[in-house]
Amino acid sequence: MPFTAPAVMPMRAVATEIPPLEIAGQAQTLRTSGCAILVWRSVAVAARAGAVRAPGDRPSATHHRVGAMWKHELDPAQAASALLRAGLSLRPEQLVLERRDERWLVGLPGRRLAWFAATAEGERSLAVERRVLRLLRARCSFRVPEVLFVDPLGEFEIRTMVGMPVDVAAIMRRLRTDPATERRVGEQIGRILAEQHTRIAAREVEGWLPRTLTGPLPLERVPPQLEGVVPDRPDLHAAASEVLARYDALSVAPGDHALIHTDVGFHNLAIEKDGISVTGLFDYDSAAWGDRHHDFRILIYDLERPGLLKAAMEAYGRATGIALCSERILLYNAVVAFSYLAYRVGARPEERPCGRTLDEDLRWCEWAAEKVLGTGRRRLFGHAVPDE
């Protein structure tokens, strides 16, 4: 059965007078007539209303350091005050804040976003992502967010948005019934990743870009947390342990390393109004220097339709001359599937902390483990799963 994509939240229209925004020493006037504050609600926040603190945060804690503030709790008044340093005069009631792990996201007029650091790690990740975005804008033809303003106190930065708000579920429904469009979208993704992986050299990111991947969970936490999510599934626990063991034993040649996004999916693709033109990528907060195959691991949007992934792999091969390993992509897909299942600790079965219900996460894990550990229609979990 297919996955269910998270709904795209609506835009909230506002009209406001904005003074010139000072960017790189030049004044740029924001056109605000009829503009909209775009509120990109993450699935986790929407599903778990009120759960805005990162793991380990203390309620209402505010951390300070010399010259800047790390706010575990940021309110609209504080954000509006800080944005004055960027030349933006906004009323607190015009701002909608969303906690994104170690950061706060604030929608701004003029298709701009402000990112505030919530913790020291949030400030570090913003700085790393900023360098990644600047490299990509200088070397690649696809679109990524442009950094417009960096707060001199280090609290926040302002970036452009790329792409248009789209109904991801509608796009996925179209791709399931339109193989030609599915192939076109896959080929566009493959060409984007070919540029990203070949135009940045290792020496350019040495010393500042992470070499280890982040994910919904550190992998060592997956087995114990699975016990809390599916305590009555020893078969699934055993499969997860074997998948993780294969991942740990994998040796990747240095030639397969590149600048990777690590979370390439519809939720991070810049898609135009037609719903099929992929023009860029955003949310490089988990970027790393690692195995290029990781950027293909969640392009399996429907367990019964591998067409998108195949088209992306083929276009990538034509552009780079590199033949990707489908077995490695499937292994990485299985690792991610079990990570997301383990991340569900504390969530009700019908909740979608990462875009899927418990049943949908279980289906994904069973299918992914079958692909890595089983052959054909071997009944690891008591029922058959479709072949590719």
What are 180-207's pLDDT values in tens digits? 999 999 999 999 999 999 999 999 999 9
Residues 148 and 276 grouped into a single domain: no
- Residue 379 located in a structural domain: no
Question: How much is the pLDDT for 48?
Answer: 29
241 and 120 in one domain?
no
Same domain, 117 and 184: no
Determine the pLDDT at residue 355: 87
Q: Which of 259, 121, 254, 289 is nearest to 192 (CA)?
A: 259
Q: Which of 107, 137, 160 is the last residue of a domain?
A: 160
Evaluate whether residue 208 is within a structural domain.
yes
E strands of the chain, at which residues? 12-13, 21-23, 26-28, 36-37, 62-65, 68-71, 97-100, 103-108, 112-117, 147-150, 156-160, 257-260, 269-271, 278-281, 288-291
Q: What does the pLDDT read at residue 214?
A: 79
- Do 107 and 250 belong to one domain? no
**pLDDT value for 128:** 97
> How many Cβ atoms sit within 10 Å of the Cβ of residue 304?
13
- In this structure, is residue 7 part of a structural domain? no
pLDDT in tens, 18-33: 333 333 333 333 333 2
Q: Please report the pLDDT score of residue 375 as a whole number.
A: 52
Q: Report residues of the chain scoring pLDDT below 50.
A: 1-68, 376-380, 382-388
Query: Are both 79 and 186 inside the same structural domain?
Result: no
Residue 197 pairs in a beta bridge with none
Q: Domain end: 120, 135, 160, which one?
A: 160
The CATH number for 52's domain is: 3.30.200.20
What per-residue confidence (pLDDT) applies to 275? 81
Amino acid identity for residue 135 in this structure:
L
Q: Is the same domain home to 224 and 369?
A: yes
What domain range is 348 assigned to? 168-373
Tokens of 171: 């796009």
Domain stop point among 142, 160, 178 = 160
Contact 27, 21 (CB under 8 A): yes
Q: What is the model's pLDDT at position 305?
A: 83
Residue 3 is assigned to a structural domain of this protein:
no
Is residue 5, in this structure, part of any structural domain at all?
no
In a domain, 180, yes or no: yes
> Could you tell me if 95 and 190 lie in one domain?
no
Contact present, 53 and 47 (Cβ < 8 Å)? no
Write phi, then psi, for 183 (nearest 5 degrees): -65, -45
Domain assignment present for 26: yes
The helix, strand and coil proportions of the chain, stated in percent and rounded to the nearest 5, come to: 40, 15, 45
CA angle 247-250-252, nearest 5°?
125
Q: Give the CB-side neighbour count of residue 145, counting CA atoms within 13 A.
A: 25
387 found inside a domain:
no
Same domain, 284 and 327: yes
